Amino acid sequence: MKTFEFTRPPDATTAIATAAHAKTAQQSADVRFIAGGTTLVDLMKLNVETPARVLDINRLPLDKIEPTSDGGLKIGATVRNSDLANHPTVRRDYPVLSQALLNGASAQLRNMATTAGNILQRTRCMYFRDTAMPCNKREPGTGCPAITGANRSLAVLGTSEHCIATNPSDMCVAMAALEATIHVQGPKGLRSIAFGDFHLLPGNTPHRETVLEPGDLITHVTLPTPIKGSKQLYLKLRDRASYEFALASAAVVISVVGGSVVRARIALGGVGAKPWRSQEAEAALVGRSADKASFRKAAEAAMRDAKAQSQNGFKIELAKRCLTHALQMAITT
């Protein structure tokens, strides 16, 4: 690991002003915030991330879960994943989020990992994590060996000829389905970003993963008012039952009246270059009977634009089955 300066800024304003000196935005920047450290320290040990300055934000007052005035929920950036998963309001009103969090990593990691850190975790693509290999995301312009190499776990939706990395987060899939909003404080002030607009597709700039600018600090995430009477479920399919990333996952929030779907929010994990909200699946569901045939049609719609690489074609059918099954399970809970 390269040497770096470690400081604890006394407040958010100082943290932001210091981080604003970075040449690029947070990811790969030379000045970095650190929260739980479970992504950043890993990547620093591998020399994939080599910040000169690391700013510890754990003492900033960003660790609360509070109701919002409009009936939603405000989740601080440094709230630990385990605290969020086990919060009574989250378990009651946003169970899909609790389930997604509890399906991620391990109990020990969830005790350290934070809301903002989870949103900004980086791909598990093996070439990205190996500095002996080329990788457009780590070193722009060097190439993407995954396209012809080991791509079994990589994305089939939203990829480009420059990068096919999967976004690995479980929590983000639930937040996409819940239509969360990310709140950022930066050198130019405060702004709110719809969850679906926060992560960027790789296109020809795979090193740019989010809309964050140098100095931007995620302060909190808000969830809208819970949808009364909705059924929610997170289903994760993976190579082993715990401590493993998704091959395919689905977060569903569905309302059924008189046997018909009146509202659906669908997001997929493990298959997309970003947490994958599927408005195609939602459109295919609304107004249809809440049965297996409609659910399968919605899953077909969700995966219509999927593009397989040499080893990950199985994910397309896996994701369809995952979503179909998640919807069936949701309406029977």
Closest CB to ligand FAD among residues 160, 249: 249
Q: In what order do the strands lie in the sheet with 65-67?
A: 65-67, 73-76, 217-223, 181-186, 189-194
174 binds ligand FAD, rule: CB under 6 A: no
Query: Which of 37, 140, 145, 203 touches ligand SF4 (CB under 6 A)?
Result: 145
Q: Which stretch binds ligand FAD (CB under 6 A): 106-114, 186-194, 254-262, 291-299?
A: 106-114
Helix (H, G, I), strand (E, B), or coil: what is residue 102?
Answer: helix
Residue 177: CB minimum distance to ligand SF4, A: 25
73 binds ligand SF4, rule: CB under 6 A: no
Sequence letter at residue 259? G
Judged by CB under 6 A, the chain residues 190 through 219 that form the site for ligand SF4 are: 206
Per-residue DSSP letters for 150-167? --TTS-SBS-BTTB-PPP
Radius of gyration of the chain (CA): 19
Query: Which of 9, 25, 31, 32 touches ligand FAD (CB under 6 A)?
Result: 32
What's the full length of the chain, in residues? 333
27 binds ligand SF4, rule: CB under 6 A: no
Query: Which of 60, 120, 146, 266 touches ligand SF4 (CB under 6 A)?
Result: 146
Sequence letter at residue 207? H
Query: Which of 31, 57, 316, 322 touches ligand FAD (CB under 6 A)?
Result: 57
44 binds ligand SF4, rule: CB under 6 A: no
* The pairing of beta strand 53-56 with beta strand 5-7: parallel
Q: Which stretch binds ligand FAD (CB under 6 A): 116-124, 141-149, 199-207, 296-304?
A: 116-124
The answer to whether 165 and 147 are in contact (CB under 8 A) is: no
CA distance to 11, 15, 17, 59, 294, per residue, from 187 (Å): 14, 10, 7, 20, 48
Q: Which residues bind ligand SF4 (CB under 6 A)?
A: 123, 125, 127-128, 135-137, 144-146, 154, 163-165, 206
